[in-house]
Structure 1
Amino acid sequence: MSEITEPPGGEDCRCPMHTSGGEGASRCSPGSRQSDGIFIDSVYKACAYGDVDKLHQMVENKPSLVNEPDPQGYYCLQWGALNNRVAVCSYLIEKGADINAADSTGQTALHWSAVRGSLAAAETLLRASADVEKPDSRGYTVCHVASQYGQTSFLYHLALHWNADYEKADADGRTPLHWAAYKGYGDIIRLLIFMDVSIDRKDKEGPPRRPLPRHPSPAASSLPLLSAPRCSPQ
C-alpha cells in the first residue's frame, strides 16, 4: 500500500505552539494553557489551549480572525475541534466561523475532531450543520479519519446519531473497514462488521482482509474479519 498522508494530530502534538517551533514547544500538550506557563500570543493558540478569555479579547478586537487561517492554512475552528474545546467551538460558531471551512488538504474542523475522538466538539459542529459526508482532497470523510485513528466510539456515534456513511470509499476505493484493517484496529473492524458492512469489497489493491504490509501483525487484524458475528444494530 502506498504511503498515506494523515490528518494532523495523533501521537505527535500539532498545537500552534509546537508546529510553529516556538520557544516552549517541548512543554506543550493538549491540556496546556497560559496558566501552565504557555504564552498565548495568537488566536490559534488560544483555540488550541482553550483560553476562552484570550480568544474573546482577540476576536472582539478583530472579528475577521474567526475565518482567517494561520500561516499553515489551518483555521481556529480546526484547532478547537482537534482538542475538544467545546466552549471555543461554540463561541467561534456564534461569531460567524465557517463551519465547513477547509484547509489546503480539504479537511474541515469535523475531520480534525475525529483524530482524537473529540466527540463533544464534533457534536457541537454537527448541530451547527457541519457536513458529515464532506470529503477531503483524498476522498476521506470523517468516518475514514475516525477509522484511521482507531476512534471506535466516535465512529459509532456518527453512524448511529448522524447517519454517517461508514461504507463510503475514498479516492483509492478504500472504506473505513479497509483503514481499520490496515491500521490494525480490531474494535473498529468488529463494529463495522456488527453494522453489516461488506468484508469482500475491494479497493485498488484488494479486499480489506488481505495482509497489509505496514501493519506489524496482519493476521491479528484480519482475524475479526473472519470470525466476528454479523448483524445490524437495532
Structure 2
Amino acid sequence: MNQRRQKKLSHHLFEAILTGDARSTKALLHRGASPERRNGDGTTPLYLASVQGEAEIARLLMEAGASPDIESSGPGSDGTPLCAAACWGHTETVRQLLAHGADPNLREDQGTGRTPLEWADGGPHPDTAEVLRAAGAQPSPHRAVGAM
C-alpha cells in the first residue's frame, strides 16, 4: 500500500476513534489502516482509544496487531495505553488491555514514570485499581500515592 493511502487511512482511523465509532474503526482496519501508525504528534491509536475509554475500539486495535505496551509520545498524550485508561478510571478498557497482554506493572516514560496502579489509586478509581490488583499489579515500594 502506498504511503499516501496509508496516511489517509490513518487520518480516518484517528477520526473514528475520536468519535467512538467502532464500526468505522473496524472497516478502516479491514481496509488496511495500521493499528500502530502514530499521528503527526506521535500519538498511537491504542493510546487515544484508551484515554477516551473506548474499550471496544481498543479491542479491535489489539486484535488487528496493536501492542498494548507501546508508549505514545504525543504532547499531552504520552505514556502507555494501560496508564491512560487507569488514570481516567476506564475500567472496561483496562480489562481489554489486560486481556490482550498489557503488563499491569509497566511504568510509563520508559520505566521512570507511574504505574497503572499508581494512576488508578491517585484518581481515585478504586474499581479500576481492584482490576489491576487482580491482574497482578503490585504497589510500588518506593512511592506513596500522595507523593506523585
Give yes or no for TM over 0.5. yes
- Relative to the length of structure 1, the TM-score reads 0.53
Runs of 4+ in 1 over 6 A off after TM superposition: none
Q: Counterparts in 2 of 1:2-41, with a 5 A limit?
A: none
Q: Tell whether 2:45 aligns with 1:109.
A: yes
Gaps of 5+ in 1: 1-63, 213-234
Q: Which residue of 2 aligns with 1:180?
A: 120
- Whole-angstrom distance in 1 between the partners of 2:19 and 2:72: 20
- Relative to the length of structure 2, the TM-score reads 0.79
* Residue pair 2:69, 2:102 contacting (<8 A) in 1 also: yes
Of Structure 1 and Structure 2, the greater helix share is in 2
How many matched pairs?
Answer: 141
Q: Which residue of 2 aligns with 1:151?
A: 90
Could you tell me which amino acid in structure 2 is paired with residue 85 of structure 1?
D
Could you tell me which amino acid in structure 2 is paired with residue 191 of structure 1?
V
**Larger of the two Rg values belongs to structure:** 1
Q: Which residue of 2 aligns with 1:79?
A: 15
Q: Which has the higher contact order (CA 8 A, sep 6+)?
A: 2
Q: Tell whether 2:28 aligns with 1:88.
A: no
- Whole-angstrom distance in 2 between the partners of 1:124 and 1:155: 14
* Comparing 75-84 and 110-119, the one that deviates more: 75-84
In structure 2, relative to structure 1, the CA distance for the partners of 1:201 and 1:83 (3 Å cut) is: farther
Q: Which residue of 1 aligns with 2:107?
A: 169
Q: Which residue of 2 aligns with 1:126?
A: 62
Of Structure 1 and Structure 2, the greater strand share is in 2
- Whole-angstrom distance in 1 between the partners of 2:136 and 2:69: 19
Q: Which residue of 1 aligns with 2:129?
A: 189
Gaps of 5+ in 2: none
Deviations 1:182-216 (A, max 9, x none): 222122222222333221344xxxx143355xxxx
